[in-house]
Structure 1
Amino acid sequence: MHLIITDGWLAKSRAVHLSGTKMVLAFVAASLALMLMAAGLYHWVFLKGAREGWPVIGSVVRLMVQDEFEQRDRFMRENIDAMAKRLGQMQARMLQVEALSERVSGLAGVNPNDLKLAGGRGGALVEGRPLTLEELQATLNDLEQLTGERTDLLTVMESRLLDQRLKTMMIPTQQPLPGHGVGSRFGWRIDPFTGRQALHTGLDFQGGIGTPILAAAGGVVVTAELHPAYGNMVEVDHGNNLVTRYAHSSKLLVKKGDLVKRGQRLALVGTTGRSTGPHLHFEVLVQGVPQDPHKFLAAARGNEQLAAASH
């Protein structure tokens, strides 16, 4: 495109050549300038009208502010409703935890009332009128306190159950010679050496020489020595004045002061001491008085059968 510009005063003319690219750039520049001018004018008029309270501008501003507040309130309401729904689910689960803790507390021998736990709280969140933020915060505080109380209760129950398990582990219920039959039982019998009636203070388990002898429960070895009557003998103290004795072994595998666990090897079957053949003489003593070991071993089998039946 050619443009001829003529100046009448100076009696001169000038030719300008505009290519297509230059025309497009000029059009874009002019459009941007007009848009900036329009935006600046609109902004100036809008702010001035809002400050001075022009009728039309003031109404528009109020509508915009009101709409913004409504959107903000709607967003907060949706968030509060979602939090309230989630809180209701948490409270429902807390009810399940409370019911479970009450059942387990009976097994652990713990009375929840002894821990001064607050009762009558929790429960599912019933939807009615919308909750306020203050009510939601108060409910969350109650739930946090209840959670702390249940945590304390479960901690105490865990400790009690652990104590019970430790006590069970310290009771001689493990077969000292698994898979081997019993010869002489606890009670009065004819002594094989004197031919007279005498009290047999333990159980005799038949086994070949070298068969491992296992600890009937965990404890501390208090005796590991050669005895004139019992031969190579091991005694394990399980606490609470409860001791088990393993006699006539061919070899001792532990020494005095050793800590042993249930099922650990203590010695090997032999025929040392006052014995007529290879076997294990097993005793259980409470406060130094011999008890029938069969009662302890039978109690273990009864518990296993009861557990199997419950499953």
Structure 2
Amino acid sequence: MHLIITDAWLARSRAIHLSGTRLLLVGVLASVFLMLMTVSVYHWLVVAGAGEGGGRLGRFVLNDEMAQRERFMRENLDAMARKVGEMQARLLQLDSLGERVSGLAGVSAIKAPPPAGQGGALIASRSLTVQELDALLRELNIAAEQRSDWMTMVESRLLDEKIRKSMVPTQLPTATGVLGSPFGWRIDPLTGRSALHTGMDFQAAQGEAIVAAAGGVVVTQEYHAEYGQMLEIDHGNGLVSRYAHASRVWVKKGDLVRRGQKIAEVGTTGRSTGPHLHFEVLVQGVPQNPEKFLVAGRDLPNTRSVATKSP
């Protein structure tokens, strides 16, 4: 780059040649000079307030910036206040739902104290302050923690109830559920004499699935002279279900079984006149009428009612 400087007084000129390095250096120096000038002017107008006009301009710039910040904060506070109002409304909905759920779980619902009476003419509304919003958030946090603890207790109670029901033999042990011989006194099919039938006989085809009437642990899996291939499942609290005359067994002693799980197949082993399932329920070793348990399970999910005796 060439620069020509002409001196009119001396009537002469001078040529200056700037290489790439020199040109870059001049550009950097010029930029630094402009930055220093800009900072100096800003300091003169805003900080130092040089002159009455500069002071007014500086105060105007500062006031406008502060107004923008305040407007931004106010808009955010108003938005947060609306969210807090929505959270309060949802807590009221949860309280209403909690009253219904508490009746199912058998626990007392949370009774929040009624708010203090307030009233008066509405003069004007105003936005919440940061302190007021913070206090509301603290109250909501406390209320949410109380309801969380209460819901945990309700969940535990309902889970206990579900487990208790799943451990009671109310599931029909065969798919057809056709009753052949009920619990109680009857004429023994082999001797022709009166005898106590300690269970219920379900008519079923050879090989039909036998399922667990409730969850539990297999405590007996053996061949019995009268019951044939036999299984016993302990459901806890002295409650045991017995399945007899099976042709094939799918579980062994010590296995955990769930409600409705296939545990064996219908057969005619032991003291039997044909394929069927002999089903018993014992409490503390004493035979009970299984129909009481099966009838109680009619309203439970995944259960089937006992069918009447086929003609």
Scaled by the length of structure 2, the TM-score of the pair is 0.77
Instruction: Return the letter of the residue paired with 1:13.
Output: A
1: CA distance between counterparts of 2:171 and 2:5? 115
Deviations 1:63-116 (A, max 9, x none): 433333322222211111111011111221222122222221221122235xxx
3-state DSSP class of the match of 2:213?
A: coil
3-state DSSP class of the match of 1:250?
A: strand
2: CA distance between counterparts of 1:180 and 1:50? 99
Deviations 1:2-22 (A, max 9, x none): 998543xxxx633799xxxxx
1: CA distance between counterparts of 2:256 and 2:40? 93
May I ask how many residue pairs the two structures share in their alignment? 279
Offset of residue 305 of structure 1: 11
1: CA distance between counterparts of 2:107 and 2:93? 18
2: CA distance between counterparts of 1:44 and 1:247? 101
Matching residue within 290, 297, 306 for 1:293: 290
Offset of residue 177 of structure 1: 1.3
3-state DSSP class of the match of 1:254?
A: coil
2: CA distance between counterparts of 1:76 and 1:96? 30
3-state DSSP class of the match of 1:235?
A: strand
Instruction: Return the letter of the residue paired with 2:145.
Output: G
3-state DSSP class of the match of 1:280?
A: strand
1:255 aligns with 2:269: no
Matching residue within 11, 15, 28 for 1:13: 11
1:86 aligns with 2:83: yes
2: CA distance between counterparts of 1:271 and 1:182? 16
1:144 aligns with 2:175: no
Residues 160 and 253 of structure 1, relative CA distance in 2, 3 Å threshold:
same
Aligned counterpart, 1:62:
59
1: CA distance between counterparts of 2:217 and 2:40? 96
Matching residue within 189, 201, 221 for 1:204: 201
Residues 160 and 38 of structure 1, relative CA distance in 2, 3 Å threshold:
closer
For structure 1, the residue ranges without an aligned partner over 5 or more in a row are: 18-28, 307-311
1:131 aligns with 2:123: no
3-state DSSP class of the match of 1:174?
A: coil
Offset of residue 180 of structure 1: 4.5
User: Which structure shows the higher helix fraction?
Assistant: 1
3-state DSSP class of the match of 1:290?
A: strand
Task: Give percent identity, aligned residues only.
Answer: 53
3-state DSSP class of the match of 2:179?
A: coil
3-state DSSP class of the match of 1:171?
A: coil
Residues 45 and 204 of structure 1, relative CA distance in 2, 3 Å threshold:
closer
1: CA distance between counterparts of 2:233 and 2:5? 119
Offset of residue 295 of structure 1: 2.4
Aligned counterpart, 1:26:
none
Residues 46 and 177 of structure 1, relative CA distance in 2, 3 Å threshold:
closer
Aligned counterpart, 2:74:
77
1: CA distance between counterparts of 2:156 and 2:290? 29
Offset of residue 238 of structure 1: 0.6
Of 176-185 and 188-197, the range deviating more from structure 2: 188-197
1:282 aligns with 2:279: yes
1:50 aligns with 2:42: no
Of 104-113 and 236-245, the range deviating more from structure 2: 104-113
1: CA distance between counterparts of 2:302 and 2:251? 33
Instruction: Return the letter of the residue paired with 2:155.
Output: E
Matching residue within 164, 169, 172 for 1:172: 169
1: CA distance between counterparts of 2:208 and 2:40? 105
Of 178-187 and 104-113, the range deviating more from structure 2: 104-113
Aligned counterpart, 1:23:
none
For structure 2, the residue ranges without an aligned partner over 5 or more in a row are: 16-26, 116-121, 304-311
2: CA distance between counterparts of 1:47 and 1:270? 101
Residues 244 and 135 of structure 1, relative CA distance in 2, 3 Å threshold:
same
Offset of residue 118 of structure 1: 5.4
Scaled by the length of structure 1, the TM-score of the pair is 0.77
Instruction: Return the letter of the residue paired with 2:45.
Output: F
Whether contact under 8 Å (2:176, 2:204) holds in the other structure is: no
2: CA distance between counterparts of 1:235 and 1:44? 94
3-state DSSP class of the match of 1:268?
A: strand
1: CA distance between counterparts of 2:93 and 2:228? 59
2: CA distance between counterparts of 1:258 and 1:3? 107
1:98 aligns with 2:95: yes
